[in-house]
Structure 1
Amino acid sequence: MSANKLNAVLLAAVLGCAMSVVTSQHLSRRLYYELEKEQKLEKQLQVEFGQLLLEQSTWGAHALIEKSASARLAMLTPNQRQVYVITPEGVR
């Protein structure tokens, strides 16, 4: 093999390696950007989840349910004579 052919093969190999490095760096940067974007979204979703848990506990509060039932549905708390407890043996 002559020196010119060897130089051409080596040049092609060096250019191929250089292109490979550039491509892998570009891919690495793009994937890192995607990772950062997904981590930011995860933080936002965690905040929203915390807010929803707080809202759920607020809506689940007994006093709020009772107030809403009386105000919106005109429901009243029954007196003791109107309450029947059903057990496996029957009504008490």
Structure 2
Amino acid sequence: MSINKLNAALLVAVIGCAMSVVTSQHLSRRLYNELEKQQKLSRQLDVEYGQLLLEQSTWGAHALIEKSASTRLGMLTPSQRQVYVITPEGVR
């Protein structure tokens, strides 16, 4: 009788361990899938960031700003005689 109780206890322990393994494997796979999704999102955000940096450098180009100012706003570059430098001592 004692051997049957020991066998039953071992069977319960083995089933418990097996359930624990299955549960941990499932959790591990779910977390790995989530990690892959987050890494994919990170790569997409890196690409978008690079595109935005490129766009920012394009819009910040001096020639583009000057062209936009002259065509859209009708602004012109002043001549040397029209430029005054103001210093703390006065106008030069």
Specify if TM > 0.5.
Answer: yes
What residue is the counterpart of 1:52 in the other structure?
A: 52
What residue is the counterpart of 2:3 in the other structure?
A: 3
Cα deviation 1:32-74 (Å, max 9, x = unaligned): 1111111111111111111111111111110100111111111
What residue is the counterpart of 1:63 in the other structure?
A: 63
Please give the TM-score of this superposition, normalised by the length of structure 2.
0.88
Aligned pair count? 92
CA distance in 1, matches of 2:37, 2:51: 21
What residue is the counterpart of 1:14 in the other structure?
A: 14
Give unmatched runs, 5+ long, in structure 2. none
Please give the TM-score of this superposition, normalised by the length of structure 1.
0.88
DSSP 3-state at the match of 1:66: helix
Give unmatched runs, 5+ long, in structure 1. none
How much has 1:78 moved relative to structure 2? 1.4
Residue 74 in structure 1 maps to residue 64 in structure 2: no
What residue is the counterpart of 1:38 in the other structure?
A: 38
CA distance in 1, matches of 2:55, 2:6: 73
DSSP 3-state at the match of 1:77: coil
Runs of 4+ more than 3 Å apart: none
C-alpha RMSD over aligned residues = 1.5
